[in-house]
């Protein structure tokens, strides 16, 4: 593959960081947005510690999802954009607009700039939150054809933000996209090796188990995908003709209970995982607690329900083969313990 000029938005983020590492390893020229260039040195340091090669092929530009400034400069001369940046705030938030507006308006801002600059394709990081929330519990296998029901049970601000942002992106491409191609990626819960001091996404679950903040676990099931596989799917989708105009669900096909995730961590880390919970919080206790604790309410609709997913399309169209969920969980836990030394 000939080297491409690739813009990665939100370069300080978890998925974006792994995308940058893989793009540089493959010899691409990478530009990344961060909200302030004052953070460039620290972001470079994190990437270096994570094994970055060809650092001279990486540059940064300041751009914010809530402002027009900087985006024309960010996309200028780029072949492809990986739009990964988006607020990640699952659960209850005081003001839903603080999550929804940056996600939706920021996505449109990036798409407009990419179109105007003659970028060939945007690969947008959406989420499983735009697919499976608000649906009735049954044996349905979720695919790219499914969309979250915004007024359904258990849909939080983050789920709304990802759904509305992706819907807006497809509407934009249909009405105003010109020749710009769009591919959207729909990863399930993303875990894997942490980068720097920040814990992002579903790695918070592993962190809370390790530090004792989760002494018992609710009866919840989570489909897990490795961040390194999410990044590789983004890179594959940049140039694959079959990916143009498609949604791609990134999963391993199975959901693990929180109890199973804890058992995996304990088996891998031994004494270093002595605070990882072994007991399940009964469903009725969760339901009672949710009456008084808004943080618990989003859990109630999915108690005991393991969502089924299909990754057939990503495998078929991209030639993508994900790791087993255990690898992502162990990598996350091991990197957290190693960092704490």
- 30-84 pLDDT, tens digit each: 999 999 999 999 999 999 999 999 999 999 999 999 899 999 999 999 999 999 9
Cα 105–chain centre separation: 18
Q: Is residue 272 part of a domain?
A: no
pLDDT of residue 112: 97
Residue 126 and residue 43: Cα distance in Å, rounded? 23
What's the mean pLDDT in 14-24? 97
Nearest to 300 by CA among 137, 191, 94, 93: 137
Q: Is residue 330 part of a domain?
A: no
Please provide the average confidence, as pLDDT, over all residues in the chain: 93
The domain spanning residue 42 has which CATH number? 3.40.50.720
Q: Is residue 283 part of a domain?
A: no
Per the structure, the complete domain to which residue 61 belongs is given by 5-193+223-253+308-323
- The band of 111, judged by pLDDT with boundaries at 50, 70 and 90, is very high
Domain count, the chain: 1
Structure tokens that stand for 182 in this block = 């769009």
DSSP for 133-174 reads: TTPPPSSPEE-TT----TTSTT--HHHHHHHHHHHHHHHHHH
Q: Which residue matches tokens 């969760």?
A: 286
Give percent above pLDDT 90 in the chain. 82
Q: Is residue 282 part of a domain?
A: no
Catalytic residues: 162
Q: Is residue 107 part of a domain?
A: yes
The total of other beta-carbon atoms located within 10 Å of residue 179's CB is 9
For the chain, helix, strand, coil in percent to 5 are 45, 15, 40
Structure tokens that stand for 207 in this block = 């962190």
């Amino acid at each position: 593959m000939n080297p491409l000029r690739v813009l990665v938005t939100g370069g300080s983020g978890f998925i974006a960081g792994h995308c940058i590492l893989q793009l540089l390893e493959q010899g691409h020229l990478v530009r990344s947005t961060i909200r302030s260039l004052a953070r460039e040195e620290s972001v470079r340091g994190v990437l270096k510690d994570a094994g970055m090669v060809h650092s001279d092929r990486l540059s940064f530009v300041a751009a914010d999802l809530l402002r027009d400034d900087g985006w024309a400069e960010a996309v200028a001369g780029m072949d492809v954009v990986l739009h990964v940046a988006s607020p990640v705030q699952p659960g209850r938030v005081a003001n839903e607009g603080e999550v929804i507006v940056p996600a939706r308006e920021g996505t449109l801002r990036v798409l407009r700039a990419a179109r105007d600059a003659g970028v060939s394709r945007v690969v947008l990081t959406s989420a499983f939150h735009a697919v499976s929330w608000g649906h009735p519990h049954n044996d349905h296998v979720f695919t790219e054809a499914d969309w979250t029901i915004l007024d359904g049970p258990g849909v939080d601000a983050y789920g709304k933000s990802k759904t509305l942002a992706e819907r807006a992106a497809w509407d934009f491409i249909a009405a105003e996209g010109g020749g710009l191609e769009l591919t959207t990626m729909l990863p399930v819960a993303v875990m894997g090796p942490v980068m720097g001091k920040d814990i992002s996404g579903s790695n918070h679950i592993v962190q809370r188990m390790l530090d004792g903040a989760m002494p018992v676990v609710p009866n919840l099931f989570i489909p897990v995908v490795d961040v390194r596989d999410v990044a590789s799917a983004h890179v594959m989708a940049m140039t694959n003709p079959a990916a143009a105009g498609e949604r791609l669900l990134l999963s391993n096909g199975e959901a693990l209970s929180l109890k199973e995730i804890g058992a995996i961590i304990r088996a891998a880390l031994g004494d270093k995982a002595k605070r990882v919970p072994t007991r399940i919080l009964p469903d009725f206790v969760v339901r009672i607690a949710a009456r008084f604790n808004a943080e618990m309410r989003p859990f109630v609709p999915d108690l005991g329900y393991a969502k089924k997913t299909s990754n057939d399309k990503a495998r078929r169209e991209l030639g993508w083969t994900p790791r087993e969920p255990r690898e992502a969980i162990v990598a996350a836990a091991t990197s957290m313990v190693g960092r704490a030394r």
